[in-house]
Amino acid sequence: MSLILPENFQHILRVMNTNLKGREKIVYSLVNIRGVGRRYATLCCKMAEVDTNKRAGELTEDEVKRVVTVIQNPRQYRIPDWFLNRQKDVKDGKWSQAVSNGLDNKLREDMERLKKIRSHRGIRHYWGVRVRGQHTKTTGRNRGRMAVGAMKK
């Protein structure tokens, strides 16, 4: 398949501190943003009234702005609450979609809160061992350092 490039085609788009490939379709290009999955990207494109069959490089500045505003403010565009990745935030109780740098900040704040209140999860994160109930007696012994096999004679 050959791709005929229009004169205003962008090979790399900078959206929400992420480089997006212009040759991919817009939905699959938006997936490269942290906190945006395939279903959320498809829904945001539909709410912003952007054709999902377009390539990311073919979008106009206005279409890109519309998609970004939908991604950042999903509740204003009637995206259901169960679709969001930050439900009933611990600090303010709001429902939101954490994306890009905001997602990293939220995760770091959550880890610091768990460590501060000395919860079981926080302590295990601090120690650097498995958190979610996995067996640790025989597996994962070389986590964080090089594995060395047994030496034979």
Burial of 70 (0-12, 13-18, 19+ CB in 10 A): buried
Report which secondary-structure segment, H or E, holds 108.
helix 100-116
CB atoms within 10 A of CB 4: 5
As beta bridge partners, residue 25 has 55
Cα(57)–Cα(36) distance, rounded to whole angstroms?
Answer: 19
Q: Would you call 150 helix, strand, or coil by DSSP?
A: coil
Kindly give the confidence (pLDDT) of every residue in the chain, 153 residues in length, as a single tens digit, with 9 standing for 90 and above.
556 777 788 999 999 999 999 999 999 999 999 999 999 999 999 999 999 999 999 999 999 999 999 999 999 999 999 999 888 888 888 888 899 898 899 999 999 999 999 999 999 999 989 999 999 888 888 877 777 776 666
